[in-house]
Structure 1
């Protein structure tokens, strides 16, 4: 699995944007849908939660099947993002074990690491780096 800083991930997505749609990286947000809706998300992501409320337990098989359905092929490159870059490690490992060939994740995720006051988006992460995002 590739570990990309947020700006590297954005640059990678942009560099491959001229490819036909089925060959462009599929950008997957593995957070719960409510996180994505209320906290915000990068534009163009597909929501496939690693786990969801109320169970809050991963179902790797379900997750892999949903990503494969969205990607259309295990050959399609994948970029994963979560809140802090930790869920994507487990999700990415499950995808690689299932045969996906090119999996990358965003280090520090969308909100980044906690600071001394237990706040996010103040040290690192997608939003901290000023990359495009939207909020519902």
Structure 2
């Protein structure tokens, strides 16, 4: 699995923006739907939760099936993002175990690590780096 800093991930997505859809990276937000909708998300991201309510337990096989259904094939590049870059590590490993060949994740995720006041988006992450995002 590739580990891309937020700005590297954005540059990679932009470098492939004109690729045919079946070859362009599939950008997947693995957070719970409520996080993606209300906290914000990068534009163009597809939501496929690693886990969600009410179980809050990952189902790696379900996740891999949903990503494959969206991607079309397991050789398509996949870029994963979550809140802080931790869920994407497990989700990425599940995809690789399921046979995906080109998996990357956004280090520090959308909101980044906690600062000394337990706030996010102040130290690192997609939003901290000033990259495009939208909110419901």
SS for the counterpart of 1:3 is: strand
**Offset at 1:9?**
0.1
Give yes or no for the alignment of 1:93 onto 2:96.
no
Equivalent position of 2:61 in the other structure: 61
Distance 1:2 1:85 in 2: 12
Equivalent position of 1:103 in the other structure: 103
**Offset at 1:18?**
1.3
* CA-to-aligned-CA distance 1:31-85 (integer Å, 9 cap, x gap): 0000000100000000000000110000001000000000000010000000000
Distance 2:29 2:18 in 1: 22
Distance 1:66 1:28 in 2: 11
Structure 1 residue ranges without an equivalent (≥5): none
Number of corresponding residues: 136
RMSD: 0.4
Equivalent position of 1:8 in the other structure: 8
Distance 1:17 1:45 in 2: 13
* CA-to-aligned-CA distance 1:82-106 (integer Å, 9 cap, x gap): 0000000000000000110000000
Give yes or no for the alignment of 1:84 onto 2:84.
yes
Give yes or no for the alignment of 1:32 onto 2:32.
yes
**Offset at 1:27?**
0.1
* CA-to-aligned-CA distance 1:86-127 (integer Å, 9 cap, x gap): 000000000000110000000000000000000000000000
Structure 2 residue ranges without an equivalent (≥5): none
TM-score normalized by the length of structure 1: 0.99
SS for the counterpart of 2:22 is: helix
